[in-house]
Amino acid sequence: MKKSLGARTVLYPTPALVICTYDGEGRPNAMTAAWAGICCSSPPCVAVSLRKATYTHGCIGARQAFTVNVPSEKYVREVDYFGMTSGRKTDKFAATGLSPERSDAVDAPYIREFPFALECRLVHVLELGLHTQFVGEIVDLKADEEVLAADGSLDVEKVRPILYAPDGGSYFGVGKNLGKAFSIGRRGS
Amino acid sequence: MKKSLGARTVLYPTPALVICTYDGEGRPNAMTAAWAGICCSSPPCVAVSLRKATYTHGCIGARQAFTVNVPSEKYVREVDYFGMTSGRKTDKFAATGLSPERSDAVDAPYIREFPFALECRLVHVLELGLHTQFVGEIVDLKADEEVLAADGSLDVEKVRPILYAPDGGSYFGVGKNLGKAFSIGRRGS
Protein backbone atom coordinates (compact mmCIF):
# COMPACT_ATOMS: atom_id res chain seq x y z
CA MET A 1 0.00 0.00 0.00
CA LYS A 2 1.48 3.30 -1.08
CA LYS A 3 1.58 6.36 1.13
CA SER A 4 -0.07 9.64 0.07
CA LEU A 5 2.53 12.43 0.09
CA GLY A 6 0.24 15.18 -1.21
CA ALA A 7 0.66 17.26 -4.36
CA ARG A 8 4.43 17.51 -4.93
CA THR A 9 6.51 18.38 -7.98
CA VAL A 10 8.88 15.45 -7.95
CA LEU A 11 9.92 13.53 -11.04
CA TYR A 12 13.06 11.43 -11.40
CA PRO A 13 15.21 12.02 -13.35
CA THR A 14 14.79 15.80 -13.62
CA PRO A 15 17.42 17.64 -15.68
CA ALA A 16 19.72 20.42 -14.50
CA LEU A 17 19.93 22.76 -17.51
CA VAL A 18 21.11 26.30 -18.15
CA ILE A 19 18.94 28.64 -20.23
CA CYS A 20 20.79 31.42 -22.04
CA THR A 21 19.36 34.63 -23.49
CA TYR A 22 20.26 38.18 -24.42
CA ASP A 23 18.47 40.97 -22.61
CA GLY A 24 17.10 44.13 -24.22
CA GLU A 25 20.60 45.69 -24.21
CA GLY A 26 22.23 42.63 -25.72
CA ARG A 27 23.83 41.45 -22.49
CA PRO A 28 24.10 37.66 -22.23
CA ASN A 29 22.41 35.97 -19.29
CA ALA A 30 22.26 32.42 -17.95
CA MET A 31 19.93 30.76 -15.47
CA THR A 32 19.47 27.23 -14.23
CA ALA A 33 16.18 25.45 -14.96
CA ALA A 34 14.90 22.01 -14.07
CA TRP A 35 11.24 22.22 -15.13
CA ALA A 36 11.95 21.28 -18.74
CA GLY A 37 11.76 18.50 -21.31
CA ILE A 38 11.46 17.67 -24.98
CA CYS A 39 7.79 18.07 -25.94
CA CYS A 40 7.50 17.30 -29.67
CA SER A 41 9.51 15.31 -32.21
CA SER A 42 8.24 17.07 -35.34
CA PRO A 43 8.70 19.99 -35.33
CA PRO A 44 11.43 19.33 -32.75
CA CYS A 45 10.46 21.29 -29.63
CA VAL A 46 11.60 21.68 -26.05
CA ALA A 47 9.59 23.17 -23.18
CA VAL A 48 11.12 25.21 -20.37
CA SER A 49 9.12 26.65 -17.48
CA LEU A 50 10.31 29.80 -15.70
CA ARG A 51 8.89 31.99 -12.96
CA LYS A 52 7.74 35.42 -14.10
CA ALA A 53 10.07 37.01 -11.55
CA THR A 54 13.20 35.75 -13.33
CA TYR A 55 15.24 38.04 -15.54
CA THR A 56 15.35 35.36 -18.24
CA HIS A 57 11.53 35.37 -18.48
CA GLY A 58 11.59 38.94 -19.80
CA CYS A 59 14.59 38.27 -22.03
CA ILE A 60 12.83 35.41 -23.83
CA GLY A 61 9.81 37.65 -24.34
CA ALA A 62 12.01 40.42 -25.77
CA ARG A 63 14.19 38.26 -28.05
CA GLN A 64 11.78 35.39 -28.84
CA ALA A 65 14.71 33.00 -28.54
CA PHE A 66 16.77 31.04 -26.01
CA THR A 67 19.26 28.19 -25.81
CA VAL A 68 19.07 25.13 -23.60
CA ASN A 69 22.57 24.24 -22.44
CA VAL A 70 23.36 20.77 -21.15
CA PRO A 71 26.20 20.93 -18.61
CA SER A 72 28.77 18.30 -17.74
CA GLU A 73 29.05 17.29 -14.11
CA LYS A 74 32.38 19.09 -13.77
CA TYR A 75 30.40 22.34 -14.02
CA VAL A 76 27.99 21.46 -11.21
CA ARG A 77 29.14 24.43 -9.07
CA GLU A 78 28.54 26.90 -11.91
CA VAL A 79 25.12 25.33 -12.57
CA ASP A 80 24.18 25.75 -8.93
CA TYR A 81 25.43 29.36 -8.94
CA PHE A 82 23.41 30.18 -12.08
CA GLY A 83 20.31 29.14 -10.15
CA MET A 84 20.96 31.35 -7.13
CA THR A 85 21.79 34.76 -8.63
CA SER A 86 19.76 37.12 -10.82
CA GLY A 87 21.13 38.42 -14.11
CA ARG A 88 19.41 41.68 -13.32
CA LYS A 89 22.29 42.70 -11.05
CA THR A 90 25.10 40.31 -11.91
CA ASP A 91 27.06 39.39 -15.02
CA LYS A 92 27.06 35.66 -14.35
CA PHE A 93 29.44 34.93 -17.21
CA ALA A 94 32.03 37.30 -15.76
CA ALA A 95 31.46 35.81 -12.30
CA THR A 96 32.03 32.21 -13.43
CA GLY A 97 34.53 32.71 -16.24
CA LEU A 98 32.27 30.80 -18.64
CA SER A 99 31.92 32.15 -22.19
CA PRO A 100 28.76 33.24 -24.04
CA GLU A 101 29.09 32.23 -27.69
CA ARG A 102 26.75 33.97 -30.12
CA SER A 103 24.42 31.48 -31.85
CA ASP A 104 24.32 31.65 -35.63
CA ALA A 105 20.85 30.09 -35.58
CA VAL A 106 18.86 32.17 -33.06
CA ASP A 107 19.12 35.48 -31.19
CA ALA A 108 20.66 34.01 -28.03
CA PRO A 109 24.08 32.92 -26.78
CA TYR A 110 25.14 29.43 -25.74
CA ILE A 111 27.85 28.38 -23.29
CA ARG A 112 31.10 27.50 -25.03
CA GLU A 113 32.41 25.26 -22.25
CA PHE A 114 29.31 23.01 -21.94
CA PRO A 115 29.17 19.94 -24.22
CA PHE A 116 26.04 20.82 -26.17
CA ALA A 117 23.20 23.29 -26.59
CA LEU A 118 19.77 23.38 -28.24
CA GLU A 119 19.17 26.64 -30.13
CA CYS A 120 15.49 27.55 -29.94
CA ARG A 121 13.08 30.08 -31.33
CA LEU A 122 10.01 30.73 -29.23
CA VAL A 123 6.82 29.19 -30.69
CA HIS A 124 4.37 28.94 -27.75
CA VAL A 125 3.87 30.57 -24.36
CA LEU A 126 1.59 28.88 -21.84
CA GLU A 127 0.72 30.61 -18.56
CA LEU A 128 0.36 27.89 -15.94
CA GLY A 129 0.45 29.75 -12.62
CA LEU A 130 3.72 30.50 -10.81
CA HIS A 131 5.53 29.32 -13.94
CA THR A 132 5.22 30.27 -17.60
CA GLN A 133 6.01 27.49 -20.03
CA PHE A 134 8.05 28.55 -23.07
CA VAL A 135 8.02 26.11 -25.97
CA GLY A 136 10.94 26.57 -28.32
CA GLU A 137 11.38 24.98 -31.70
CA ILE A 138 14.86 23.46 -31.83
CA VAL A 139 16.45 25.10 -34.88
CA ASP A 140 19.89 23.55 -34.44
CA LEU A 141 21.96 21.60 -31.93
CA LYS A 142 25.60 22.60 -31.37
CA ALA A 143 27.92 20.06 -29.80
CA ASP A 144 31.58 19.46 -29.05
CA GLU A 145 33.12 16.74 -31.23
CA GLU A 146 34.56 15.12 -28.09
CA VAL A 147 31.12 14.08 -26.81
CA LEU A 148 30.02 12.36 -30.00
CA ALA A 149 29.95 8.58 -30.34
CA ALA A 150 31.36 6.89 -33.44
CA ASP A 151 27.89 6.95 -35.06
CA GLY A 152 27.57 10.71 -34.52
CA SER A 153 25.08 10.45 -31.65
CA LEU A 154 25.56 12.37 -28.40
CA ASP A 155 27.20 9.91 -26.01
CA VAL A 156 25.68 10.25 -22.52
CA GLU A 157 28.76 8.80 -20.88
CA LYS A 158 30.91 11.48 -22.53
CA VAL A 159 28.44 14.32 -21.93
CA ARG A 160 28.07 13.33 -18.24
CA PRO A 161 24.90 15.40 -17.67
CA ILE A 162 23.59 16.45 -14.28
CA LEU A 163 20.38 15.17 -12.68
CA TYR A 164 18.60 17.36 -10.21
CA ALA A 165 16.62 15.77 -7.41
CA PRO A 166 13.93 18.32 -6.48
CA ASP A 167 13.06 16.39 -3.32
CA GLY A 168 16.08 16.59 -1.08
CA GLY A 169 17.72 19.13 -3.38
CA SER A 170 20.84 17.36 -4.63
CA TYR A 171 22.62 16.83 -7.94
CA PHE A 172 23.57 13.42 -9.29
CA GLY A 173 25.65 12.06 -12.16
CA VAL A 174 24.76 9.37 -14.65
CA GLY A 175 25.28 5.74 -13.70
CA LYS A 176 25.58 2.46 -15.52
CA ASN A 177 24.14 1.50 -18.90
CA LEU A 178 21.01 -0.59 -18.32
CA GLY A 179 20.47 -1.75 -21.91
CA LYS A 180 19.26 -0.85 -25.38
CA ALA A 181 15.86 0.75 -25.90
CA PHE A 182 13.34 -0.91 -28.23
CA SER A 183 15.30 -4.10 -27.64
CA ILE A 184 15.70 -5.37 -24.07
CA GLY A 185 11.93 -5.47 -23.48
CA ARG A 186 11.20 -7.57 -26.55
CA ARG A 187 9.16 -10.65 -25.74
CA GLY A 188 9.59 -14.08 -27.29
CA SER A 189 7.03 -14.66 -30.05
CA MET B 1 34.22 25.55 -32.07
CA LYS B 2 31.07 23.48 -31.78
CA LYS B 3 29.71 21.33 -34.57
CA SER B 4 26.20 21.86 -35.98
CA LEU B 5 24.21 18.63 -35.72
CA GLY B 6 20.94 20.00 -37.08
CA ALA B 7 17.56 20.09 -35.35
CA ARG B 8 17.52 17.08 -33.00
CA THR B 9 15.42 16.23 -29.97
CA VAL B 10 18.18 15.37 -27.53
CA LEU B 11 18.22 16.48 -23.92
CA TYR B 12 20.19 14.81 -21.11
CA PRO B 13 18.93 13.56 -18.76
CA THR B 14 15.58 12.57 -20.28
CA PRO B 15 13.27 10.49 -18.06
CA ALA B 16 11.87 7.04 -18.81
CA LEU B 17 8.34 7.16 -17.39
CA VAL B 18 5.19 5.08 -17.68
CA ILE B 19 1.85 6.82 -18.23
CA CYS B 20 -1.22 4.92 -17.01
CA THR B 21 -4.85 5.47 -17.98
CA TYR B 22 -8.19 3.72 -18.22
CA ASP B 23 -9.78 3.41 -21.64
CA GLY B 24 -13.47 3.98 -22.43
CA GLU B 25 -14.31 0.48 -21.18
CA GLY B 26 -12.36 0.90 -17.95
CA ARG B 27 -9.42 -1.27 -19.02
CA PRO B 28 -6.10 -0.15 -17.57
CA ASN B 29 -3.32 0.73 -19.99
CA ALA B 30 0.34 1.69 -19.66
CA MET B 31 2.77 3.28 -22.10
CA THR B 32 6.32 4.53 -21.87
CA ALA B 33 6.98 8.24 -22.37
CA ALA B 34 10.18 10.28 -22.35
CA TRP B 35 8.96 13.67 -23.62
CA ALA B 36 7.91 14.86 -20.17
CA GLY B 37 8.82 17.11 -17.27
CA ILE B 38 7.51 19.15 -14.37
CA CYS B 39 6.18 22.43 -15.79
CA CYS B 40 4.79 24.44 -12.87
CA SER B 41 5.34 24.55 -9.11
CA SER B 42 2.01 26.20 -8.19
CA PRO B 43 -0.35 24.68 -9.10
CA PRO B 44 1.93 21.64 -9.28
CA CYS B 45 1.84 20.45 -12.90
CA VAL B 46 3.59 17.91 -15.10
CA ALA B 47 3.65 17.89 -18.91
CA VAL B 48 3.65 14.70 -20.98
CA SER B 49 3.75 14.67 -24.79
CA LEU B 50 2.23 11.76 -26.71
CA ARG B 51 1.69 11.01 -30.39
CA LYS B 52 -1.92 11.13 -31.51
CA ALA B 53 -1.58 7.55 -32.80
CA THR B 54 -1.08 6.14 -29.29
CA TYR B 55 -3.92 4.43 -27.47
CA THR B 56 -3.14 6.44 -24.33
CA HIS B 57 -3.75 9.71 -26.21
CA GLY B 58 -7.42 8.83 -26.61
CA CYS B 59 -7.69 7.47 -23.07
CA ILE B 60 -6.51 10.75 -21.55
CA GLY B 61 -9.03 12.60 -23.70
CA ALA B 62 -11.82 10.29 -22.52
CA ARG B 63 -10.97 10.20 -18.82
CA GLN B 64 -9.30 13.62 -18.39
CA ALA B 65 -6.79 11.97 -16.08
CA PHE B 66 -3.54 10.02 -16.06
CA THR B 67 -0.76 8.94 -13.74
CA VAL B 68 2.98 9.40 -14.28
CA ASN B 69 4.77 6.36 -12.90
CA VAL B 70 8.47 6.51 -12.04
CA PRO B 71 10.06 3.07 -12.47
CA SER B 72 13.06 1.59 -10.69
CA GLU B 73 15.87 0.32 -12.84
CA LYS B 74 14.99 -3.29 -12.01
CA TYR B 75 11.88 -2.79 -14.20
CA VAL B 76 13.83 -1.55 -17.23
CA ARG B 77 12.66 -4.51 -19.39
CA GLU B 78 8.99 -3.84 -18.57
CA VAL B 79 9.50 -0.12 -19.30
CA ASP B 80 10.99 -0.93 -22.68
CA TYR B 81 8.16 -3.36 -23.42
CA PHE B 82 5.51 -0.75 -22.51
CA GLY B 83 7.01 1.47 -25.21
CA MET B 84 6.89 -1.12 -27.98
CA THR B 85 3.35 -2.52 -27.76
CA SER B 86 -0.06 -0.87 -28.17
CA GLY B 87 -2.73 -1.19 -25.51
CA ARG B 88 -5.26 -1.35 -28.33
CA LYS B 89 -4.52 -5.03 -28.84
CA THR B 90 -2.63 -6.11 -25.75
CA ASP B 91 -3.29 -6.15 -22.02
CA LYS B 92 0.19 -4.98 -21.03
CA PHE B 93 -0.45 -5.54 -17.33
CA ALA B 94 -1.31 -9.20 -17.97
CA ALA B 95 1.72 -9.53 -20.26
CA THR B 96 4.18 -8.16 -17.67
CA GLY B 97 2.54 -9.31 -14.44
CA LEU B 98 2.58 -5.75 -13.10
CA SER B 99 -0.49 -4.56 -11.19
CA PRO B 100 -2.80 -1.61 -11.96
CA GLU B 101 -3.88 -0.04 -8.66
CA ARG B 102 -6.94 2.22 -8.79
CA SER B 103 -6.07 5.78 -7.79
CA ASP B 104 -8.28 7.32 -5.10
CA ALA B 105 -7.38 10.80 -6.39
CA VAL B 106 -8.00 10.65 -10.16
CA ASP B 107 -9.73 8.41 -12.72
CA ALA B 108 -6.60 6.44 -13.66
CA PRO B 109 -4.60 3.52 -12.31
CA TYR B 110 -0.99 3.54 -11.12
CA ILE B 111 1.54 0.72 -11.07
CA ARG B 112 1.75 -0.95 -7.68
CA GLU B 113 5.29 -2.29 -8.15
CA PHE B 114 6.93 1.01 -9.14
CA PRO B 115 8.26 3.22 -6.31
CA PHE B 116 6.07 6.27 -6.90
CA ALA B 117 3.43 7.85 -9.10
CA LEU B 118 2.03 11.33 -9.74
CA GLU B 119 -1.78 11.33 -9.96
CA CYS B 120 -2.90 13.97 -12.45
CA ARG B 121 -6.07 15.57 -13.71
CA LEU B 122 -5.85 17.05 -17.19
CA VAL B 123 -5.77 20.86 -17.22
CA HIS B 124 -4.29 21.84 -20.62
CA VAL B 125 -3.90 20.27 -24.06
CA LEU B 126 -1.43 21.83 -26.49
CA GLU B 127 -1.21 20.58 -30.08
CA LEU B 128 2.42 20.90 -31.15
CA GLY B 129 2.67 18.77 -34.30
CA LEU B 130 3.44 15.06 -34.18
CA HIS B 131 2.97 15.23 -30.41
CA THR B 132 0.19 16.58 -28.23
CA GLN B 133 1.27 17.96 -24.89
CA PHE B 134 -0.98 17.06 -21.97
CA VAL B 135 -0.51 19.17 -18.84
CA GLY B 136 -1.79 17.51 -15.71
CA GLU B 137 -2.23 19.08 -12.33
CA ILE B 138 -0.59 16.82 -9.75
CA VAL B 139 -3.39 16.08 -7.30
CA ASP B 140 -1.43 13.63 -5.15
CA LEU B 141 1.81 11.65 -5.12
CA LYS B 142 1.74 8.03 -3.98
CA ALA B 143 5.00 6.43 -2.88
CA ASP B 144 6.35 3.32 -1.24
CA GLU B 145 7.64 3.94 2.28
CA GLU B 146 10.88 2.12 1.36
CA VAL B 147 11.99 4.89 -1.02
CA LEU B 148 11.56 7.73 1.47
CA ALA B 149 14.53 9.38 3.18
CA ALA B 150 14.44 10.07 6.92
CA ASP B 151 13.10 13.59 6.22
CA GLY B 152 10.20 12.21 4.15
CA SER B 153 11.65 13.22 0.78
CA LEU B 154 11.86 10.78 -2.14
CA ASP B 155 15.40 9.42 -2.06
CA VAL B 156 16.80 9.17 -5.61
CA GLU B 157 19.28 6.50 -4.59
CA LYS B 158 16.42 4.35 -3.26
CA VAL B 159 14.07 5.07 -6.17
CA ARG B 160 16.83 4.28 -8.71
CA PRO B 161 15.00 5.92 -11.68
CA ILE B 162 15.80 5.25 -15.33
CA LEU B 163 17.31 7.78 -17.72
CA TYR B 164 16.57 7.44 -21.39
CA ALA B 165 19.18 8.58 -23.91
CA PRO B 166 17.20 9.49 -27.06
CA ASP B 167 20.40 9.69 -29.10
CA GLY B 168 21.85 6.21 -29.22
CA GLY B 169 18.69 4.76 -27.65
CA SER B 170 19.88 3.35 -24.32
CA TYR B 171 18.76 3.38 -20.71
CA PHE B 172 21.01 4.44 -17.83
CA GLY B 173 20.85 4.37 -14.04
CA VAL B 174 21.65 7.13 -11.59
CA GLY B 175 25.26 7.71 -10.58
CA LYS B 176 27.04 9.44 -7.75
CA ASN B 177 25.85 12.36 -5.63
CA LEU B 178 27.51 15.54 -6.91
CA GLY B 179 26.49 17.86 -4.08
CA LYS B 180 23.70 19.90 -2.50
CA ALA B 181 21.65 22.33 -4.59
CA PHE B 182 21.47 25.99 -3.54
CA SER B 183 24.68 25.35 -1.68
CA ILE B 184 27.72 24.08 -3.61
CA GLY B 185 27.62 27.03 -6.03
CA ARG B 186 27.63 29.66 -3.32
CA ARG B 187 30.38 32.23 -3.77
CA GLY B 188 32.45 33.77 -1.03
CA SER B 189 31.27 37.30 -0.18
Q: pLDDT per residue over A54-76, tens digit each?
A: 999 999 999 999 999 999 999 99
| Minimum-distance CB partner of B140 among A7, A44, A45 | A7
Confidence of residue A168 (pLDDT cuts 50, 70, 90): confident
Interface test with B, best of A4, A12, A75, A133 (most B CBs within 10 A): A12
Hey, is the C-beta of A5 within 8 angstroms of any chain B C-beta? Answer: yes
Average pLDDT over chain A reads: 96
Q: What is the pLDDT of residue A188?
A: 56
A175-182 average pLDDT score: 96
Chain A residues closer than 8 Å to B145 by CB: 3
- The Cα–Cα gap between B66 and B59 comes to 9
Distance of CA B156 to the CA centre of its chain: 15
Query: ipTM of the assembly?
Result: 0.96
Hey, is the C-beta of A57 within 8 angstroms of any chain B C-beta? Answer: no
**Predicted confidence (pLDDT) at residue B187 exceeds the cutoff of 80:** no
Helix or strand run (H / E) with residue B74: none
| Minimum-distance CB partner of A174 among B13, B139, B187 | B13
Q: What is the pLDDT of residue B53?
A: 95
The closest alpha carbon to B82, from B64, B65, B100, belongs to B100
Verify whether the Cβ–Cβ distance A37 to B40 is below 8 Å. no
Q: pLDDT per residue over A86-124, tens digit each?
A: 988 899 999 999 999 999 999 999 999 999 999 999 999
Helix, strand or coil, per DSSP, at residue B147: helix
**Predicted confidence (pLDDT) at residue B189 exceeds the cutoff of 80:** no
- Window 132-161 of B: residues touching A by CB (8 A cutoff) are 133, 135, 137-145, 148-149, 151-156, 159, 161
The closest alpha carbon to A30, from A1, A61, A72, A59, belongs to A59
B64-83 average pLDDT score: 97
